[in-house]
Amino acid sequence: MHRLPFDEVHAQLAAALRNLGFTEPRASLSARLFAETTRDGVYSHGVNRFQRFVAMIRNGSVDPAAEPRVVSHFGALERWDGARGPGNLNAHAAMARAIALSREQGIGCVALANTNHWMRGGTYGWQAADAGAIGICWTNTMPNVPPWGGLDAAIGNNPLVIAVPRAAGNVVLDIAMSQFSYGALESYSKRGEPLPVDGGFDAEGKLTRDPAAIEATQRLLPIGYWKGSGLAVMLDLIAAMLAAGNATHQIAADPLRESNLSQVFVAMQPAALGDDALVAQIPDAIVASLHRSKPAHPDRPVRYPGENALCLREENMRLGLPIDPAVWSAICALAANH
């Protein structure tokens, strides 16, 4: 594994995106979001994801020049069309608009239709919290999980992100509605390790920790069984209705053609309601209450959502971002090629 400075990774990704038809500011922002994802330790959706993103530009799923535009608005609620532009740029613009609306109205909501995979969802949670807002956002996906009680994929794993600003480190949750992703199953499978908890069904319809058995049945488990299945349905409903966009059942079930997604971005301003000093200490007190909880394993203290990301961010900025040499060669070739 290479260890490369953040700025070098950012510069090469930006050069590659300019070569793919991105304007300079859009190339720089998109590259930064990819590099920050790797910086924060979400390796599956950062630099390692870049080549798939490029493949989706080349097959026409992602239009590098398309910019999102507002379609309709009513008070603090807006509907946008993502025009199949780059998913991370569309999502960043939508959350920025939700934050601006929340500054005017206390709460703001932007629903985005016809967009693409937003890469790391947590990015837009950190964006809101870094701006002092509570952020809630989610996306639908192609059908990739069976609903509870069903055999075939009819719901998406529809990641949900919730972020709260905190001076000593934002609290950011970024969870998909399946217990594990196919990427996670593959990692365990390659290492020959069982999953830490049940992740799906085997060929006999029994719950299993065997990643290969789940890859064979394609029966991933929703979080909390019937509960996460229901939550995925609700997130899909709200995203499609507010955005007047596609629902999961309308999205191509092909990772390289998974486009025209629907997403929702909400920002809220607790400080707008007064009692700022009281409100600002609430996250610290809640984090402290978690840290006081007696750990099940003495050497593994209870952590708050986002705590691990901050540790990895510090380490990766100090040592350099860990980048697979083959991935880096491919990116350098894209950056050099005209």
| Number of CB atoms found within 10 A of residue 122's CB | 28
Give the separation between CA 179 and CA 100, rounded to whole angstroms: 34
Q: x/- binding map, residues 302-321, to its own copies, per CB under 8 A?
A: xxxx----------------
Q: Smallest distance, Å, CB 279 to its own copies?
A: 5
Report residue 262 as tokens.
């629907």
The residue from 24, 193, 275, 314 that contacts its own copies (CB under 8 A) is 275
The reply to whether 182 sits near its own copies by the rule CB under 8 A is: no
The residue from 44, 132, 202, 225 that contacts its own copies (CB under 8 A) is 225
Nearer to its own copies, 53 or 304 (CB): 304
Q: Smallest distance, Å, CB 157 to its own copies?
A: 11
**Which amino acid type is present at position 308?**
N
Residue from 45, 249, 297, 338 carrying the catalytic annotation: 45
Find where tokens 């050099």 sit. 336
The residue from 1, 55, 65, 151 that contacts its own copies (CB under 8 A) is 151
Q: Smallest distance, Å, CB 96 to its own copies?
A: 17
Report residue 46 as tokens.
């950062």
Chain residues 72-111 in contact with its own copies, contact rule CB under 8 A: 72-79, 104-109, 111
Q: x/- binding map, residues 13-52, to its own copies, per CB under 8 A?
A: ----------------------------------------
Nearer to its own copies, 237 or 312 (CB): 237
Q: Smallest distance, Å, CB 4 to its own copies?
A: 30
Cβ-Cβ contacts under 8 Å for 295 (sequence gap 6 or more): 301, 302
The residue from 5, 193, 227, 256 that contacts its own copies (CB under 8 A) is 227
The reply to whether 206 sits near its own copies by the rule CB under 8 A is: no
291 is catalytic: no
Q: Smallest distance, Å, CB 331 to its own copies?
A: 32
Tell me how many residues contact its own copies (CB under 8 A): 86
The reply to whether 282 sits near its own copies by the rule CB under 8 A is: yes
* Structure letter (DSSP) for residue 66: -
Q: How far apart are the first and last CA of the chain?
A: 27
Report residue 121 as tokens.
């969802």
Nearer to its own copies, 7 or 152 (CB): 152
Give the separation between CA 182 and CA 214, rounded to whole angstroms: 9
Are the C-beta atoms of 30 and 233 separated by less than 8 Å? no
The span of 27-35, 46-54, 270-278, 323-331 binding its own copies (CB under 8 A) equals 270-278
Are the C-beta atoms of 156 and 265 separated by less than 8 Å? no
Give the separation between CA 243 and CA 80, rounded to whole angstroms: 7
Report residue 149 as tokens.
């009680």
The span of 13-21, 27-35, 53-61, 292-300 binding its own copies (CB under 8 A) equals 292-300
Ramachandran angles phi, psi of 264, nearest 5°? -130, 135
* Structure letter (DSSP) for residue 178: B
What DSSP element (H or E) covers 311? helix 307-319
Give the separation between CA 143 and CA 136, rounded to whole angstroms: 22
Which residues are catalytically annotated?
45
